[in-house]
Structure 1
Amino acid sequence: MLNIDFLASHNAIHKVAASQKITFSVISLSLVTLLRNNILSVWTLLFMSSVIIFYAKIPWKTYVTLLIAPIGFVFAGMIAIVLSISFAQPIPISALWHSTLLGMQLFILPNDLLRAITIFFTSISATSCLYFLILTTPMYEISPVLARLKVPTIIIELIELMYRFIFLLLQTVAQLYTAQDARLGYRTYRISFQSLSFLISALFRSIFFRHQAMTYAMTARNIEQFIIPQQFLSEKAWDQKLTIIAGGFLIVTFVLIV
């Protein structure tokens, strides 16, 4: 995941205007989340994946790895939606599956299963829309666009800080875990839990000190905000090919809706 920044700056469409990529991503994301149609979600997932891999030239292994990551969270939410629990009421006749565990009656209803499937496809397709933006557009190009849209500066800076410290968090965790593992810090369950508590404590201390050092560095250079002014960024034009691709997507989406 530490390669996301590199891919965002070194892909086949990195010279395309950030405003065009943001517009395409937001429109497709809005259609998927508002309409919540399984056919539309599958179409959006396949289309956006094709654009990311074949047009933006993002390595398919990296994209698939990133796409698999949120599936675990989606499945965890699906279990809470699909599985119904009853202590005294009789199981509905329409239940697709039922079982008894420790006095509880567990069962699955058709409507709950369909709702969970819809949420699954909607979530994954929406994720692909966001990945199109994240993997093709650096954060320093997104911020000026948000500023032109009159998004409050404090919100933009919070987004940039969160984006920055996610990667610092992952890098620090990897370094601390490697250091602990080299010292046999995970050879037994008891020592593993102890090492995990030390890792979490050291992690928060490290992130706090890094944030403090970055704040001092910005203050010393008289920097008041993280947003890079537009005049320091190269001008990028809208890409005609991407416009045609987006138009084709909207036409097929309209046909599917109708």
Structure 2
Amino acid sequence: MILLWRTLVYSAFFQLLFDFPGAVYSLVPGAVTALVLSTTKVSDLMLIDYTAYRSPLRRIEGLYKLIFFLFCLLLSISRVSGRFSLSLFLFQAILMIGPGKVPLKRYLRFLEAPVMFLLMGAIGIALELDVFPLTVSVSQASFFRAQEVTRTALCAISCLYSLSLSTPLNQLMQTLRKIKIPERMIELMIVLYRYIFVLFTMYYPMKRALIMRGGNNLRGHGMLWSSLFKRSYERADHSMRSMLSRGYDGSVQFLSVPVATARGLLPMLVGMALVLAGAWLL
């Protein structure tokens, strides 16, 4: 049943993205995507950090990657063209799966949660509500508007994912320090990032235990979240005490592997030239 539901959702999303001549043509990629994701059992949050540390692109200077992906992000938002956004999304996907060595299953798994939100948003944009008389309809203009917004949003999400999957946290924090981001903001990002991991490392075992004991209902989930809040607060307090006992003074320093400063400059310039050419042609 879950596989059928996923097939319908991804088929609708592919139809919205690529505008196939018939809805039946989107069933094949939708079914393949649903089947691939049904065999992938991973923790998305933990795997993002693991993938970034294993990526060959981590050896490229972090500043170049930040400039390139933010350039793509700003261009995709400012250039209101569905074809360009879709092309840039495919370019980012090829970049991550090819040189970035991110497995296809894993990349699709990362995109699963944003796809659900984008599809719900697209439905809200496409539907038109008339009060007198009370009718709900989808016009060609509203469908195209939903299509453009979905393509642009997916492209922007892929830019941020590409940065996350190719840049480890320590390299990203050092890059932010280089461009003079306020130190307090960087420290807040590090602490929040750490506590999100603490929360999820506690959530997954508790969720599995709840399901195994037959408590997969509303009352069981309420008890899970209340217990999770209490235990995560205690864990965060213990973590802060451990940091203070080790000399934490409000500044977190990372050790990182040094990279050649000039490495990655040429690929960044070539990539920006390709993106600009695509924006001009599309």
Q: Which residue number corresponds to residue 234 of structure 1? A: 257
Aligned partners of 1:143 and 1:227 also within 8 Å: no
In the alignment, residue 191 of structure 2 is paired with which amino acid?
Answer: L
User: Relative to structure 1, is the Cα distance of residues 113 and 25 closer, same or farther in structure 2, using a 3 angstrom cutoff?
Assistant: same
**Among residues 194, 198, 211, which one is paired with 2:236 in the alignment?**
211
The number of residue pairs the alignment matches comes to 236
Q: For residues 5-84 of structure 1, what are the structure 2 equivalents within 5 Å? A: 5-84=49-128
Q: If the length of structure 1 is used for normalisation, what is the TM-score?
A: 0.84
Aligned partners of 1:144 and 1:227 also within 8 Å: no
Q: Which has the higher contact order (CA 8 A, sep 6+)?
A: 1
User: Relative to structure 1, is the Cα distance of residues 58 and 211 closer, same or farther in structure 2, using a 3 angstrom cutoff?
Assistant: same
Distance 2:91 2:270 in 1: 10
**Among residues 172, 175, 186, which one is paired with 1:145 in the alignment?**
175
Q: Secondary structure at the match of 2:123?
A: helix
Larger Rg: 1
Distance 1:140 1:225 in 2: 16
**Among residues 161, 166, 175, which one is paired with 2:205 in the alignment?**
175
In the alignment, residue 277 of structure 2 is paired with which amino acid?
Answer: V
Distance 1:123 1:34 in 2: 12
In the alignment, residue 250 of structure 2 is paired with which amino acid?
Answer: Q
**Among residues 121, 133, 154, which one is paired with 2:184 in the alignment?**
154
Q: If the length of structure 2 is used for normalisation, what is the TM-score?
A: 0.77
| Cα distance, 1:245 vs structure 2 | 4.1
Aligned partners of 1:160 and 1:226 also within 8 Å: no
| Structure with higher helix content | 2
User: Structure 1 regions of 5+ residues with no counterpart?
Assistant: 91-103, 187-191
User: Relative to structure 1, is the Cα distance of residues 241 and 65 closer, same or farther in structure 2, using a 3 angstrom cutoff?
Assistant: farther
Aligned partners of 1:147 and 1:153 also within 8 Å: yes
User: Structure 2 regions of 5+ residues with no counterpart?
Assistant: 1-43
1:127 equivalenced with 2:157 (yes/no): yes
RMSD (Å), alpha carbons = 1.9
Greater shift in the superposed pair: 28-37 or 161-170 = 161-170
In the alignment, residue 200 of structure 2 is paired with which amino acid?
Answer: L
Q: Which residue number corresponds to residue 118 of structure 1? A: 148
Q: Secondary structure at the match of 1:150?
A: coil
| Cα distance, 1:76 vs structure 2 | 1.4
| Cα distance, 1:240 vs structure 2 | 4.9
Percent of pairs with identical residues:
25
